[in-house]
Amino acid sequence: MDGGPASLTIGVEEEYLLVDPVSRQVSPEADKVVAEAATELGDRVTTEITRYQVEIRTDPHTSLADLGDQLRAARHAVARAAARYGLRIISSGTPVLGQDTPVPLTPGPRYAKSAAMFRALDEEQSACACHVHLGVPDLTTALKLSNHLRPWLPALIALTANSPYWAGQDTGYASWRTMTWWRWPVAGPPPHFASRTHFDDLVDGLIASGTVMDRGGLYWDIRPSHHVPTLEVRVADACPTVEDTLLLAAVLKGLATRALEAVRQARPAPRPQPEMLRAACWRAARDGLSGQAVNPHTGRLAPASTQLDRLLEAARPALTATGDLPILQYGEARLRAHGNGADRQRAAHQNGRDLNDVVDHLIRTAATPRV
């Protein structure tokens, strides 16, 4: 990355749930579906911690249009593979109708170590997320970028909330995945990092304390990747459609481009109080795009629509410069017309008064299998 907005790379990891189209229950056949999908996608498709989940990853892209093409191709490939076993995929932050507890874990030494270390946390874990990787030249830049992006976490939660149901019940939250994820010992908004030494000392201490297994076990909503030169934004629920994922990617590209310019100019990052930032994230997870939102800088309430307006306006200038503005505009129009994923799940339930209708809605929107 040379630092210009057109060269900022974006990559995405998406997690899907496998469901039986008749029972609408999650299905533990991920190993078979991944093996089938790998004939098309190679190592860009893999298993996750539970056997209900399939994960895909894209290459890094500078063009959001190219990113969208690869996401669509990956979803179609996984959907085709699932269909060959009589299954479908959904892209939701949580299973709608529940799951077996303990969940069927994917075999492997890392997952076995995690289960031994985290116990019942792993036994209930089948939340799905959308992770966006922003290309950075080094760890120091990644940490400075994280400092600038962290105040936007509440708005990003509200934007991408897509998990209102859990175990066959409406939780009253727009993003229940956010709440279940926060139970992990190192999760939620990251600290403001004063330096690379601050980051290294903190992480080394967490590993030494037995709180995380290694650097791959840091589950902050924003973290430097431990294996590729990126900053990973992990705050979003799994997005129901490719268009929703592209809206998230566009917003983050715009915010990151703006933040990197601030880093180059040595402008300090805003520092909301950690407690207020967490409170704002909780309110966003509960209410999504409806009602009131907490301003993490002032603690005051304002309409959630005002928070959304501020987020999109901050992203817009950089996307205008790179030619990606139409993707933001299209995603924004869909969002304002139909709401976020949680709003659409609840609308599907209201139309049919049956949670099976929610699963059917998620099947239809995730991908159209080309069998």
Do the domain assignments include residue 371? no
State the Cα–Cα distance between residues 316 and 314, nearest whole angstrom.
6
Q: What is the per-residue pLDDT across 127-171, written as a single tens digit (0 to 9) for each?
A: 999 999 999 999 999 999 999 999 999 999 999 999 999 999 999
Average pLDDT, the chain: 94
Structural domain contains residue 331: yes
CATH (domain of 353): 3.30.590.20
Tell me, what amino acid is at 299? G
Residue 5 has a pLDDT of 52
For tokens 């191709």, the residue is 73
The tokens of 220 are what?
């902050």
Domain count for the chain: 1
Contact 223, 232 (CB under 8 A): yes
Is residue 6 pLDDT above 80, yes or no?
no
Residue length of the chain: 371
C-beta atoms surrounding 201 within 10 Å: 11
pLDDT in the model for residue 122: 84
Q: Which amino acid is at 349?
A: H
Residue given tokens 């500078």 in the structure block: 62
Contacts of 103 (CB under 8 A, 6+ apart): 50, 51, 52, 122, 123, 124, 125, 126
pLDDT in tens, 219-244: 999 999 988 999 999 999 999 999 99
Rg of the Cα trace of the chain? 19
Q: What is the pLDDT of residue 3?
A: 47
Using CA atoms in the order 173, 176, 180, 186, what is the torsion angle rounded to 10 degrees? -90
Q: Residue 344: inside a domain, yes or no?
A: yes
pLDDT in tens, 230-288: 999 999 999 999 999 999 999 999 999 999 999 999 999 999 999 999 999 999 999 99
Two structure tokens written together for 194: 């004063």
Q: Which domain holds residue 219?
A: 5-366
Q: Which residues, 6 or more positions from 198, have their beta carbon under 8 angstroms from its beta carbon?
A: none
* Residue 212 within any structural domain of the chain: yes
CA distance readout (Å), 305 to 247, 302, 343: 16, 8, 14
Quote the tokens at residue 88.
């479908």
Q: Is residue 25 part of a domain?
A: yes
Model pLDDT for residues 38-47, shown as the tens digit of each residue: 999 999 999 9
User: Which pLDDT tens digit goes with each residue over 354-371?
Assistant: 999 999 999 999 985 433
Taking the C-alpha atoms of residue 203 and residue 212, their distance in angstroms, rounded to an integer, is 9
pLDDT of residue 4: 54
Q: Is 103 within the bounds of a domain?
A: yes
Q: What are phi and psi of 228, to 5 degrees?
A: -135, 155
In the chain, the amino acid numbered 95 is P
Tell me if 290 is assigned to some domain.
yes
As a whole number of angstroms, the distance between CA 279 and CA 131 comes to 22
Domain for residue 357, yes or no? yes
Question: Cβ of 214: how many Cβ atoms within 10 Å?
Answer: 12
